[in-house]
Amino acid sequence: MKAGDEVKSRYFLDIRRFVRDNIESVIIYLVLVIIAVVGSIIAPDFTKPQNIKNVLLQAVALGLVAIGQTVVIISGGLDLSVGATISMVAVYTSGLMAGRSGILIVLPIVILTILMALSIGFLNSMIITKLRITPFIATLAMGSVTQGIVLMYTKIPRGLISPEWKFFAEGTIFGIHFGVMFFFAFLLVTLFMLKKTILGKYIYAVGGSETTARLSGIRTVRVLVFVYMFSSFMASLSALFLISRMGIGDPQVGGLNYQLYDLESIAAVLVGGTSLSGGIGSVIGTLAGVLILTLLNNIFNLSGVSTFYQWVIKGAIIIGAVATYRLIREEK
């Protein structure tokens, strides 16, 4: 065999090995490409540069909260309090800013509301680890309590963001929205944390089997405290981005009358290939899941598709994706 043929053969073997080892990611990104192609056919405005920029910007809020949700689900948990956390951070941040200008005003308020969000994550982890209540019930209850507190504070949109905070969503660097760059930066940081650090290995181990992880010497309580606080932190960043776009804090922005960030973030994570049973998944897959859901919303809106049909199509895609992953894993 000639040297050139040997190099080509090794090259194709490497490609086949990569596809085999990452079959789930390959499938979901292939689906993403197919949806984009179909969108460009049925909605001519879809491929316009301005629309592509809008799609990426629309993906930021869901993408940020989905990153945190991914880490929680990999650990074997679930966070149904992120929507309420988003609403809480949104209304208190805009309410405290009250349109006032100055970094010395903005920074303490942002830090304070992020700390409020972190407290929700900490309480979630304590209820789950100390009271031994399942994540579904614990986070659902905490979300209910948090949303109730938000509605006691205000039932209508309130406050006004500081002028400087508009840059988060509207500002651009080299023609790219700062919010989009911010999202991808956190995506890469989380990817590094999960794949290249001891903490990341512990998160996967806890998701695989919390009992085995604990018997192996892993301090599982600390790991779970981190993942739920990280999820709340990412939800707070999503809220800060949303008020930057809206200019005001709405007590229902987390899901009551808007996008259901609890369920949408879980859907994006599952579509991206992360297993709901824990121990398997990646934010790279979640990125594809977020983009698929965002693209579908954009294409539906451009094409004037009824909301009822949108629910049916999105639901079918989620079921199809999860069923496909299960079949692949069973074959392995």
CATH T-level assignment (fold) for domain 42-331: ABC transporter involved in vitamin B12 uptake, BtuC (1.10.3470)
Q: What are phi and psi of 176, to 5 degrees?
A: -110, 135
| Candidate from 76-85, 167-176, 258-267, 269-278 with smallest mean pLDDT | 258-267
What integer pLDDT is reported at residue 45 of this predicted model?
A: 85
Kindly report the pTM of this predicted structure: 0.92
63 and 290 Cβ atoms separated by less than 8 Å: yes
pLDDT at 332 over 90: no
Answer positive or negative: Cα dihedral of 101, 63, 292, 16: positive
Average pLDDT value for the chain: 89
For range 302-308, the mean pLDDT: 80
In whole angstroms, give the CA distance from residue 57 to residue 100.
26
> For residue 138, which of 84, 83, 78 has the smallest C-alpha distance?
78
pLDDT at 259 over 70: no
| Candidate from 8-17, 186-195, 209-218, 266-275 with smallest mean pLDDT | 8-17
First to last CA, the chain: 33
pLDDT at 287 over 90: yes
Q: Which residues pair with 242 in a beta bridge?
A: none
- Provide the residue type at 124 as one letter: N
Which tops the pLDDT comparison, 20 or 283? 283
199 and 223 Cβ atoms separated by less than 8 Å: yes
What integer pLDDT is reported at residue 139 of this predicted model?
A: 96
Neighbours of 172 (CB within 10 A): 13
Would you place residue 328 in the very low, low, confident or very high pLDDT band (cuts 50, 70, 90)?
confident
